[in-house]
Structure 1
Amino acid sequence: MSEQLRRAVTLLDELARGEPAQSIRALAETTGLSKSAVQRSLASLVEVGLAEKHHSGAYALGPRTLALGTAYRRRIDLRATAIPVMTRLRDVTGETVGLSTPVGDEILHVEQVESRSELRRTFEIGRPLPLWCGAPSRVVLAARTDDEVRRVAHARDGATLTPAAPPPPDELVRLVERCRADGYAAALGETIAGVNTLAVAVHDAHGDVHATLSVTGPATRWDRAAMTATLPDCRDAARELSRALGASC
C-alpha cells in the first residue's frame, strides 16, 4: 500500500469513529500525521467526495462513503441469492454473467460468474463505470427522470476509464428511451471494442432498480441473434432474483 493511500485510509477511519466534524489540528493529533500531510490528504479526499469541508473549516466524511457503503451492503445481501441464478444463466448462454449496482452517477460491478469458454470477457469487480456508457448503465438510467438522463448524458465527467465507443449524448437519450420501451438494453462494442452486453433490471420490494443482471461476451459469438434467442432466459433470471428481493413481479 502506498504511503499516500495509507494516510488517506487512516484519516477516513478517524473521521468515521471520531467527532462528526474535525479540524486539521485535531486529526493530526489523533492520527500522528503532520498537519501538512493531513491537509494534502484531505484535499484529495474532498475532491473525490470521500470527505467534505464544512464552513467552519472542519472536515467530515463525504457523501461518496455512504454510496460505497451502501453498494458493499447490497453486494453482501445479493450474493448468496444471485450466484445460483447467475450460474444457471451462464450455463444457458455460455457467456459471463455479471451483477452490478448503481452508486450515484456510476455503476459498480459487484459479482460475476465467468464463461467456461477460453475466449471470454470478464469484469473488474469493484471498479465503478460511468452511467453514460454500457448496457447496465442504460438499465439504471431508464428508471430515472428525463432531466436526470439528459444531465448524465451531457456531463460525462469523473470516469475512471475511457470507453471504446460511447454513444453521443442525444443518441444515449434515445437509447434510454428504447430501453424503457423494450425492458432491456444491448450495447455493442461500447465499453470495450469487440465485446457486447445485454442487461436487464433487478427490482427490489419497492419496485426500484436494485441491481442489473448482464450477459457479456465476444461479439464474434455474443451477437444480436444470440442475445435475442436468450433474452427470455435473462428476463426469467432477473424476475427470479427480483422476487427473492421482495418484488411482486
Structure 2
Amino acid sequence: MPRAVPAVVRALDILELFLERPQLSARDVMERLDLPRTTVHELLVTLVDRSYLISMPGQPVQYRLGMPLFQLGAAFAGRLDLVREAQSVTRDVAAACNEAVHVAVLDGADVIYLVKVDSTHPVRMVSAVGRRLPAHCTAVGKVLLSDLDRATLDAVLSKGVLPGMTPESITDPDRLREQLERVRAEGVAVDAGESDTAMRCVAAGIRDHRGVVIAGMSVSAPIIRWTPQAHVEWTELVREGAATLSARMGWSAPPR
C-alpha cells in the first residue's frame, strides 16, 4: 500500500490544532504534537509561505489560519447537496424500520418536506414532497424551532395563539417553548398526534458544517404500530440517521 508522507501528516496535524484554539505559538505546537523545534519551525514557515497560516508579530509569534483554508472549506460546502445526500440516508433508515422517513426544512413558521421514503405497509402515512405544515405541529418542525435563537423564535411565535391541526396540537406559545426546551436537552422531538391523530413521529436535527440545525429527519408510523419498543428503536434509528446525514453535510460532533 502507498505510504503516508510524514511531512504532510505533520502539517495536517498542525492545521487541525486550530480546531481547538484560534491562535497558537510555535511552542504550543511543539508541546501538543511532541515534535522537534526544527521540524515545527520548517513546517510553520512552509504553511505561512503558502498562506495556510498567518504569522502575527509578538513575543512569542502567534499563528492563525489563513484565507486558503476558508476557500477550501467554502468549496467543499458549496458542493454539498442536502437533498441528494438525504435521499440516500433516508432510504437506509426506511429500510431499517419499514416506516415513512422524511427530511424537512424550516420556512418561517412552517416546515417543507424535501425528501420522503415510504414504508411498504398498506396502512401508512399520507404525505408528499413539497408539502407545507405548521412547524409546531410536527416533530421535524419542533426540532428546527428548538435550534432558533430567542429573538428569532419570538418572531415566529409573535402572533399569539398558534393554529392547531388536531385536538392534540400545541396552540399555546408558552407551552410550546417549554416543550422546545426538552427537545434541546434530549435532541429529539415527538409528534404525538399533533398533525394527524392516527400517526406518531419522532425526529432529530441535521446539522451543517457550522453545527447549525438546517433540517430535520423523522420516522412516522400509524399509531397501531407505534409500540413502546418501536418508539425506543425508531428514536435511536432517527438519531443515527440524522447524525449520518449531518456528517455528510460537514458536521463533526465534538467528543463527549
Question: Is TM (by shorter chain) over 0.5?
Answer: yes
Gaps of 5+ in 2: 1-77
| SS of aligned partner of 2:197 | coil
Indicate conservation of the 8 Å contact 1:132/1:152, yes or no.
no
Offset at residue 242 of structure 1 (A): 0.7
- Counterpart of 1:238 (choices 234, 242, 246) is 242
Larger deviation: 107-116 or 164-173?
A: 164-173
Between the two proteins, the alignment pairs up a number of residues equal to 173
Aligned to 1:229, the other structure's residue is in SS state helix
Aligned to 2:169: 166
Answer yes or no: is 1:108 the counterpart of 2:145: no
Match of 2:63 in 1: none
Equivalent residues in 2 for 1:163-202, closer than 5 Å: 163-164=165-166, 165-167=168-170, 168-202=172-206
Deviation, structure 1 residue 118: 0.5
Hey, what does 2:17 align to over in structure 1? Answer: none
Contact 2:204 2:216 in 1 (8 A): yes
In the alignment, what sits opposite 1:141?
145
Helix, strand or coil: the match of 1:115? coil
Which of the two has higher C-alpha Rg? Answer: 2
Q: Which amino acid aligns with 1:247?
A: W
By how many angstroms is 1:79 displaced?
Answer: 2.4
The residue type equivalent to 2:124 in the other structure is R
Q: Which residue, out of 76, 86, 91, partners 1:82?
A: 86
Q: CA deviation at 1:130?
A: 1.7
1:155 is paired with a residue whose SS is coil
Q: Does the residue aligned with 1:247 lie in a helix, a strand or coil?
A: coil
Could you give the per-residue CA deviations for residues 50-95 of structure 1, whole angstroms, max 9, x where no partner exists? xxxxxxxxxxxxxxxxxxxxxxxx9x92222112211111122221
Distance of 1:151 and 1:228 partners within structure 2: 34
Percent of residue pairs bearing the same amino acid type:
27
Using the alignment, how far apart are the partners of 2:228 and 2:189 within structure 1?
Answer: 11
Q: 1:158 to 1:193 in 2, by over 3 A?
A: closer
Structure 1 unpaired stretches of 5+: 1-73
Structure 2 CA distance, aligned partners of 1:92 and 1:236?
Answer: 11
Residues 106 and 131 in structure 1, CA contact (< 8 A), matched pair in contact too: yes
* Contact 1:153 1:170 (C-alpha < 8 Å) held by counterparts: no
Work out the CA distance in 2 between the residues paired with 1:127 and 1:155.
23
Distance in 1 (CA, whole Å) between partners of 2:197 and 2:115 is: 22
Residues 1-249 of structure 1 aligned to structure 2 (within 5 Å): 77-153=81-157, 155=159, 163-164=165-166, 165-167=168-170, 168-249=172-253
- For 2:143, what is the secondary structure of its paired residue? helix
How far has the Cα of 1:224 moved from its partner?
4.2
Helix, strand or coil for the counterpart of 2:204?
strand
Normalised by the length of structure 2, the TM-score is 0.62
- Asked if 1 retains the 8 angstrom alpha-carbon contact of 2:90 and 2:101, the reply is yes
What is the letter of the counterpart of residue 188 of structure 1?
A: A
In structure 1, distance between residues paired with 2:92 and 2:251: 20
Deviation at 1:102, TM superposition (A): 1.2
Task: Provide the rounded CA distance (Å) in 2 between the counterparts of 1:148 and 1:186.
Answer: 22
RMSD of aligned residue pairs (Cα, Å): 2.3
Contact 2:204 2:217 in 1 (8 A): yes
One-letter amino acid of the counterpart of residue 163, structure 1: M
Secondary structure (helix, strand or coil) at the match of 2:252 reads coil
**1:176-195 CA-partner distances (Å, limit 9, x unpaired):** 01100100001111001111
Q: Specify the alignment match of 2:19 in structure 1.
A: none
1:126, distance to aligned residue in structure 2 (A): 1.0
> Equivalents in 2 of 1:154, 1:134: separation in Å?
19
Aligned equivalents of 1:145, 1:128: Cα separation in 2:
22
> If the length of structure 1 is used for normalisation, what is the TM-score?
0.63
